[in-house]
Structure 1
């Protein structure tokens, strides 16, 4: 019985490791940051009350574009 459980556990581990995909290749964290996107790739508190991100504000309203 132990051999059967060991075989099933090792097979399930083997197949679960084979099925993993790298979904980070489909993510672009800079979407919306260029061309007046007014979004940025930084951490933010709810409702944008505190934003940990580079400060890029210039003389005009292009404060969050140009990454």
Structure 2
């Protein structure tokens, strides 16, 4: 099995996958386990960083 974190154009993890075969894609980062804690984190030079969550534009301040 192959585990991947899928990142968006800002390098934020938007999904994790458990796949039966290897994937070669710029937005798919191989990871050791099915780690859903990566969701919402930024991939930066091989490291995962916590980021400030975006505020919902409809959320009152």
Superposition TM-score, scaled by structure 2 size: 0.22
Higher-Rg structure is 1
Bigger share in helix: 1
Question: Normalization by structure 1: what TM-score?
Answer: 0.21
Structure ranking higher in strand proportion: 2
Q: Which has the higher contact order (CA 8 A, sep 6+)?
A: 2
